[in-house]
Amino acid sequence: MTRIDAKFAELRKAGRKAFVTYVMAGDPDYERSLEVVRGLPGAGVDIIELGLPFTDPMADGGTIQLAGQRALEAGQTLARTLELAHAFREQDDTTPIVLMGYYNPIYSRGVERFLAEAKEAGIDGLIVVDLPPEEDDELCIPAQKAGLNFIRLATPTTDDKRLPKVLTNTSGFVYYVSITGITGSAAAEAGDVGPEVARIKAATDLPVIVGFGIRTPEAAERIASVADGAVVGSAIVDRIGKGEPTEKVLEFVAGLAEGAHRG
């Protein structure tokens, strides 16, 4: 059982929805990023998605693209991102960390080496947005064998024919992308999301978490009410990018967490 599996078992027992946050590793620099990440569990975050900065983030909107650029310019690399996770683990051995990004940096490092280092650093799961199920032998299957969850994205365009393929070899949870398009580009609507979540849950026992387009505590509550939890990324990354003090960022996160946990 991974930390992700344990967290969802704990949430189910408590009758509570999950609140997941995304932040870019190394944004705006390593020290500030680590400070924010270390503060997330205390602000009510159940699972941390740690963005791996990449030069060509095709699924990300402007806010997260800029965060990746800031991180890269500050010297953030895959190795430094694993160092950041390792440093977080020195103080927190229970909060799950999902590394989210693109395959190129992992491929460049070497899959076997990367998985060993990720496991040692305390990474619990991977979301690799540009590796489809047809490429499962590339990373998904080796990751599962190494004890990491491999989390897949489902979208509004994932029809009933495609869904079983998406769910094959997926573990940890399913990440439902609530809108078509890039991150931060539109608002998620519970009325649209609810039926889609129900359709996915009819095909899997995994929790279904909804992300993209959630920017307020009220929106987090509405989305969590029709899913197993909510993810917020761009709204948090935007505040980091504007230079808000860490305590203000974490206050904002705490409000979002309260909303999601009411869902």
Residue 251 annotated among the catalytic residues of the structure: no
Q: Rounded distance, CA 200 to CA 28, Å?
A: 36
CB-based contact 240:36 (threshold 8 Å): yes
The span from the first CA to the last CA of the chain, in angstroms, equals 26
Catalytic position from the list 5, 60, 117, 228: 60
Q: Where are the alpha helices (DSSP H) in the chain?
A: 3-14, 30-39, 62-73, 78-89, 103-109, 111-121, 140-145, 163-167, 190-201, 217-225, 234-241, 246-262
Catalytic position from the list 5, 27, 49, 228: 49
Furthest-apart CA atoms within the chain: distance in Å: 47
Q: Rounded distance, CA 62 to CA 50, Å?
A: 17
Q: Rounded distance, CA 157 to CA 143, Å?
A: 26
Q: Is 113 helix (H, G, I), strand (E, B) or coil?
A: helix
Return the number of other C-beta atoms located less than 10 Å from residue 175's C-beta.
24
Mark 179-211 as b/e (b = at least 16 C-beta within 10 Å). beebbbeeebebeebbebbebbbeebebbbbbb
CA angle 81, 9, 13 (to 5 degrees): 135
Residue 60 annotated among the catalytic residues of the structure: yes
- 212: phi > 0 → left, psi -120 to 50 → alpha, else beta; which? left
Give the catalytic positions in this structure. Answer: 49, 60
